[in-house]
Amino acid sequence: MKKRAALLVLILLVAFGYLIGSYFVGYAIRRGNDADPKAIPAACAAIHDPSVPLPPRPEAMSEDWSMASADGLTLRGTHFSPASPSHRWVILVHGYGRDQRFVWDVAAEYLKRGYEVLTPDMRAAGESDGEYLTMGVKESEDVAAWARQIAARDKEARIALHGISMGAATAMMAASRSDAPPQVAALVEDCGYTSAYTMFSMQLQKLFGLPEFPIMRCVDAVCRIKAGAWLSDAAPVKRLPVLPTLFIHGDADDLAPVEMMEELYSASGANPKARLTLPGVGHADAKKDAPELYYSTIFTFLEPHMD
């Protein structure tokens, strides 16, 4: 009788954990709702300001690109060409709940400086397939595959990866992958996090007043079941590349605190590495709040590594 009671309690605890994990996975990383299958995750909708205008589409020749992901999704992006053909390339990786349109202002700056620009829609974003984000785990596989596609088209390519927020975490992990092509030459990471698990734990306490344990353990497990990846694997601090890296962060970032950038910078074995800390700047606002310093720092850093 005691064994049956204990088994029943265990089953109830597992079921409760699954329900809790499913709620937060659905809230934080699932795209779509009953009204719109491409709606951004509910958590993202709660923190993003819908009044912020989209950047204009770059005034450049463009073509649509697509590819199949390792797990069978169709991923889509746009290749923008500069006025003169170039072997300098950049892949711009958008952030959480965004799509490629939100980096088109950055694309315009690279185009002015003669770069070929690829702006992919990450999985579960924009026109790409997918129901779940994985906060950089599977996205990093996808970015490495986009880089291989560039390398196959241009054997002389030198490729920079430039990511913002989740895109920065994705770019860091992509650059560290063994299947990233040798043409990947430099990395710009703007307000990336050390670990999605840590960042979500902080937001769980801040927004819901709930503890990390046991809820985040449930979220991690359900993420693996539903999205095919452990949330805890979205940890760039454990997988930092050694190629030249520029770290950018605002010290008023309340989503991925500036201390995360300091931890990433300290752990990085990149050669060379540099950092730009912007006082009073919030999450992903550097390009908006300090554009001249932002772009001059980026292109000065990239210059020696792109030929």
Cα–Cα nearest to 276, from 235, 236, 242, 247: 247
Please state, in angstroms and rounded to a whole number, the distance separating the CA atoms of residues 27 and 14. Answer: 20
Let me know if residue 43 belongs to a domain. no
Q: Do 245 and 261 share a domain, yes or no? A: yes
Q: Do 139 and 213 share a domain, yes or no? A: no
Domain end call among 232, 248, 280: 232
Q: Do 164 and 98 share a domain, yes or no? A: yes
> Taking each helix axis from N to C terminus, what angle separates 2-29 and 215-227, rounded to the nearest 10 degrees?
70
Please check whether residue 283 is in contact with residue 248, taking contact to mean a CB–CB distance below 8 angstroms: no
pLDDT of residue 207: 84
* Cβ-defined contacts of 81-87 (< 8 Å, 24+): 81/116, 82/111, 82/113, 82/114, 82/115, 82/116, 82/117, 83/114, 84/114, 85/116, 86/114, 86/115, 86/116, 87/116, 87/154, 87/156, 87/157, 87/158
Q: Do 217 and 307 share a domain, yes or no? A: no
Question: What is the per-residue pLDDT across 134-161, written as a single tens digit (0 to 9) for each?
Answer: 999 999 999 999 999 999 999 999 999 9
Q: Is the pLDDT of residue 6 over 80?
A: no
Let me know if residue 175 belongs to a domain. yes
Question: What is the CATH classification number for the domain harbouring 152?
Answer: 3.40.50.1820
Let me know if residue 44 belongs to a domain. no
pTM given for the model = 0.95
Helix (H, G, I), strand (E, B) or coil at 247: strand
Q: Do 99 and 19 share a domain, yes or no? A: no
Domain end call among 232, 250, 284: 232
Let me know if residue 47 belongs to a domain. no
Q: Do 9 and 151 share a domain, yes or no? A: no
Beta-sheet strand order (sheet of 88-93)? 61-68, 74-81, 116-120, 88-93, 158-164, 184-190, 245-250, 273-278
- Taking the alpha carbons at both ends of the chain, their separation in whole angstroms is 74
In this prediction, residues 43-57 reach a mean pLDDT of 85
β-partners of residue 276 are: 248
Q: Do 94 and 191 share a domain, yes or no? A: yes
Q: Is the pLDDT of residue 9 over 60?
A: no
Query: Phi, psi at residue 146, to the nearest 5°?
Result: -60, -40
Specify the higher pLDDT residue, 163 or 208: 163
Let me know if residue 36 belongs to a domain. no
Please state, in angstroms and rounded to a whole number, the distance separating the CA atoms of residues 23 and 51. Answer: 28
Please check whether residue 226 is in contact with residue 132, taking contact to mean a CB–CB distance below 8 angstroms: yes
Q: Is the pLDDT of residue 162 over 80?
A: yes
Q: Do 91 and 204 share a domain, yes or no? A: no
Q: Do 17 and 159 share a domain, yes or no? A: no
Alpha carbon separation from 58 to 61, 107, 141, 190 (Å, rounded): 9, 7, 27, 21
In this prediction, residues 198-224 reach a mean pLDDT of 93
Domain end call among 206, 232, 258: 232
Range of the domain at 281: 58-195+234-307
Let me know if residue 37 belongs to a domain. no
Let me know if residue 42 belongs to a domain. no
Question: What is the per-residue pLDDT across 268-303, written as a single tens digit (0 to 9) for each?
Answer: 999 999 999 999 999 999 999 999 999 999 999 999
**Pick from 48-52, 85-89, 245-249, 294-298: least confident:** 48-52
Q: Do 128 and 94 share a domain, yes or no? A: yes
Number of domains in the chain: 2
Q: Do 168 and 253 share a domain, yes or no? A: yes
Q: Do 178 and 78 share a domain, yes or no? A: yes
- Residues 6 or more apart whose CB falls under 8 angstroms from that of 72 comprise none
pLDDT of residue 47: 80
Element (H, E) at 250: strand 245-250
Let me know if residue 46 belongs to a domain. no
β-partners of residue 277 are: 249
